[in-house]
Each structure stands twice: as structure tokens, then as C-alpha cells.
Amino acid sequence: MANLEAAARAGRANGASGMLVTDWGDFGHWQPWPVSFLGLAYGAAMAWSASSNEDLDLTAALDLHVFRDEARVLGTLARDLGDVHLETGVTPKNASVLALLLLFPDRPLGEGRLAGLTVEGLERTLASTVRILRPLSGATPDRGDGRLIVQEMRLAADMVRLACRVGIARLETPGGNFRAISGAVRKALTSDLDELMRTYRRTWLERNRPGGLADSTARWERLK
């Protein structure tokens, strides 16, 4: 959410006549569809009337018009889960540090886009993710795919939590060598990754055609 607002401000300040809103699928398109609703809704609001939507309560608008969640859970959850990577204190350009940890497990820590990453920052992110996810069971999306949306949000949070744990394990391993993570920690991470991959495949096929799934899951297998 913070990135969207910053982009809109920068665009207006520099005379932009519009804003491109799209949903990129780089590196296997791991993001479940509902995590993009916030960005799409914000883009729609700015396109309709940027000036009158300057102070839009986007989480309320999402709950009312998009998620149709009378419990008013999903709008806040989508915003907070989308911003939770900021808790790491590392904000690389055009990427989330959490995605980088999962997509490129051999990338050296402490340099490039992973510079500044700490155990404390990842533990803070992990704790925030657990807190953000807590109200999800109370969500009441009045949509045909409401059950699936709840499942997809839980999957997105599980991916965040796995990234935090992988990062912590690497930072606590001499040299940050992924292959040198201790046996017990490696076994626990592998078990959780196996469960995540099963959920990921099942969830993908509930909303999407099979095309692309093999490429996408191959990246999980590489991590494993």
C-alpha cells in the first residue's frame, strides 16, 4: 500500500497523465490472485477520480466492493500482509526481500539486494505475519470464490512465514550457506515446504489452467 501511494504522489509531482496497473508474473507467478486486489482497486480509484480518492479508506472499499466481507477482515489483512515485508528493514528496488530469499536461495547474504538483512528483522516480520493472519478465520466474503480467497490469503501468509524462516536459518548458519543449514532445521523447513507445495498445486488448479504450473512448481522444487 505504501508503495502504491508513493507511486501516485511521484506521478502527480512529475506531471504523469496516468498510471499503469498490472499484475506481473515473473519467476513463476507465485502470488495468489486476491493479493493483487488492493493494487487493482487503488488503480481503479485513481483512474476514476484521483483528487476525490486522495484520502480513500481503501480497506473499507475493498471489504465493501471487492471482498464483500461484512466482517471487515480481508481488506485490512490484504493491506497489512502486503506491507509486512517492510518489517525486515530491507526494501530492494522492484522486489520483496522475502521473495528473493525463496527464489534465489544461493544468493549471498549481506550484499546486493539482501544487504542489511538481520535475524531480528525477520523475526519481527514473522511475528507480524502471525498477528495479521489471526483474524482470517472470521472473514465472511460473500462471493462465489469466497472460500478460495480465504485459502489463498492463508497460502500467501505461509509463503511469507517460510521466507522468514529460511532467511533466519541462513543468517544463523556460518557464511549463510544454504546447504550448510543444520539437519534438524533443514528437516523442519523441508516438511513445511512439502506441505506448502501440495497446497500451492491444489490452489493453483482451483483458479487457473494448468499452463505454467510446472514452471512455477519447479522453482519450489529447486528451493527444496
> How far is the C-alpha of 88 from the C-alpha of 86, rounded, in Å?
5
Asked if residues 125 and 159 have their Cβ atoms less than 8 Å apart, the reply is no
Phi, psi angles (nearest 5°) of residue 31: -70, 130
3-class secondary-structure state, position 141:
strand
Q: Average pLDDT for consecutive 10-residue bins of the chain (224 residues)?
A: 71 80 86 94 86 89 97 97 96 92 91 94 98 98 98 98 97 88 94 97 95 94 92
How is the chain split into domains, by residue range? 81-223
What pLDDT is recorded for position 1? 64
Q: Tell me what pLDDT residue 6 has.
A: 74
Whole-number pLDDT of residue 205: 97
Query: Of 216, 173, 221, whose CA–CA distance to 29 is shortest?
Result: 216
Q: Which of 122, 23, 141, 6 is nearest to 75 (CA)?
A: 141
The sign of the torsion formed by the CA atoms of 155, 79, 15, 10 equals negative
